């Protein structure tokens, strides 16, 4: 009987395991996961820390027992794959509970080791009281500690950084954010990110923007200050929100080829450079559908799709993963932020002849109560009028509009096409002239 070994039991790993087993019920499938959970949602950790989610287990989609009994998949948590011998198709696994190691063979191997938090190489980073957040166990530790302190410093203003800021501020703590540029720098142009800065200030977050981290001061082994190029900031604990990097340590040891982004290079079928070995999820390099160049974007929807496609192909299929647009959302207090495709800055750096339009428009008909102001930016190619990217902020209606724009970019629509989209209208949901069409109309005048 053929055997699939999956290294990592989060989104991509479990999606691949489940799909492969469904497509080929005779395939033996084993999953080894270092943490104590599989099929979990790390994106939900800030809401657990804040208290919106009361039980950590609520962040799991399916239990280990479900996969074992209902799906026939041998899932083992607190088991770490320590080495792989591709020439012999052999895997060595360590039981992290009792310390014992054992080996098993495979016909197919899936690397779903995911991402790991970026930890800065600065003095004092190993101090007690500095936390990175990636696994559910990380979230549990942070919540317990944060409840006991008064001042929390967050270093890094990416997605996890701003979400943790909001979560801890709502716990009643004093919170400060240190960021070397501006919040969500990798995802938004500064004019859009100003909305994020404004809501952070309105919610009493102390901002230290355009400050570069230099080190951490400590006393008796515990962090006491965040030190930047502009000063020292007193804290009780620190949360690192500098982003995620691909966890490719095992892949490198095996001799798997990496791409130019530092993540694992795969073909459209999710196969690596080694025969019989696939990779999927936050450890994998993707193709950006606008630039057609490699990019590393560790987002859950892509990881799940990669996992399903890899599982289908391991079971004998020929499915292809086409790429990503980087469509994403984040909620910062009551501000909803969404983006897709390229920012204006990214489009310029990629060599496009770009043009952009920026408007503010109501989310509902002006006379219907409860409407919110939407801030919309569209980016297009002046040469062929194709939509390249978009960003939207507001208090409601952001997700639907950004997803519409993602579909437009995916389908290669032009600005002219966008002005003619048959979007729905009803006063409680949208004005008769939706903000997307208004923004496209403004942009069209500049082409």
**Catalytic site positions:** 43
d(CA 29, CA 71): 10
d(CA 291, CA 22): 35
d(CA 377, CA 392): 6
Half-sphere exposure of 120 (CA within 13 A, CB side): 24
Q: Helices (DSSP H) in 87-238: which residue ranges?
A: 136-146, 159-169, 190-202
d(CA 46, CA 83): 33
DSSP labels, 145-168: HHTT-SEEEEE--SHHHHHHHHHH
What is the β-pairing status of strands 231-234 and 222-228?
A: antiparallel
3-state secondary structure of 342: coil
Cβ-in-10-Å burial (0-12, 13-18, 19+) of 12 comes to buried
**419 phi and psi angles, rounded to 5 deg:** -65, -20
**Which among 205, 203, 207 has a CA at the least distance from the CA of 179?**
207
What lies within 8 Å, CB to CB, of 194 at 6+ separation is: 182
């Amino acid at each position: 009987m053929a055997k699939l070994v999956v290294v990592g039991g989060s989104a991509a790993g479990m999606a691949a395991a489940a799909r492969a087993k469904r497509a080929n019920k005779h395939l033996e499938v084993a999953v080894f996961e270092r943490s104590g959970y599989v099929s979990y949602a790390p994106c939900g950790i800030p809401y657990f820390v804040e208290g919106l989610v009361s039980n950590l287990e609520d962040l799991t989609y399916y239990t280990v027992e479900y996969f074992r009994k209902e799906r026939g998949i041998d899932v083992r948590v607190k088991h770490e794959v320590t080495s792989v011998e591709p020439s012999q198709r052999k895997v060595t696994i360590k039981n992290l509970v009792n310390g014992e190691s054992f080996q098993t063979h495979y016909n197919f191997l899936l690397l779903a080791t995911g991402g790991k938090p970026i930890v800065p190489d600065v003095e004092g980073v190993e101090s007690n009281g500095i936390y990175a957040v990636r696994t559910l166990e990380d979230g549990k530790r942070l919540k317990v500690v944060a409840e006991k302190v008064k001042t929390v410093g967050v270093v890094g203003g990416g997605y996890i950084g701003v979400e943790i800021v909001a979560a801890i501020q709502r716990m009643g703590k004093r919170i400060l954010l240190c960021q070397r540029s501006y919040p969500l720098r990798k995802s938004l142009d500064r004019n859009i990110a100003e909305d994020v800065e404004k809501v952070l200030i309105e919610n009493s977050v102390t901002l230290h923007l355009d400050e570069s981290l230099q080190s951490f001061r400590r006393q008796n082994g515990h962090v006491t200050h965040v030190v930047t190029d502009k000063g020292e900031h007193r804290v009780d604990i620190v949360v690192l929100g500098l982003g995620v990097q691909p966890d490719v340590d095992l892949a490198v040891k095996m001799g798997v080829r990496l791409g130019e982004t530092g993540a694992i290079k795969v073909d459209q079928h999710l196969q690596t450079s080694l025969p019989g070995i696939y990779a999927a999820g936050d450890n994998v390099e993707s193709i950006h559908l606008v630039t057609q160049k490699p990019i590393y974007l560790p987002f859950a929807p892509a990881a799940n799709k990669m996992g399903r496609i890899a599982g289908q192909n391991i079971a004998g299929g020929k499915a292809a993963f086409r790429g990503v647009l980087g469509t994403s959302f984040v909620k910062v207090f009551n501000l909803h932020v969404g983006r897709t495709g390229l920012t204006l800055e990214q489009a310029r750096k990629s060599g496009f002849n770009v043009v952009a339009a920026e408007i503010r428009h109501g989310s509902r008909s002006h006379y219907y109560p409860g409407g919110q102001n939407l801030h919309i930016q569209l980016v297009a190619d002046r040469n062929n009028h194709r939509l390249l990217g978009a960003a939207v902020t507001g208090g409601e209606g952001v997700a639907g509009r950004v997803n519409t724009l993602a579909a437009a970019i995916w389908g290669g629509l032009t600005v002219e096409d966008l002005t003619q989209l048959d979007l729905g209208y009803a006063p409680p949901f949208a004005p008769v002239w939706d903000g997307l069409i208004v923004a496209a109309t403004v942009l069209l005048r500049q082409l």
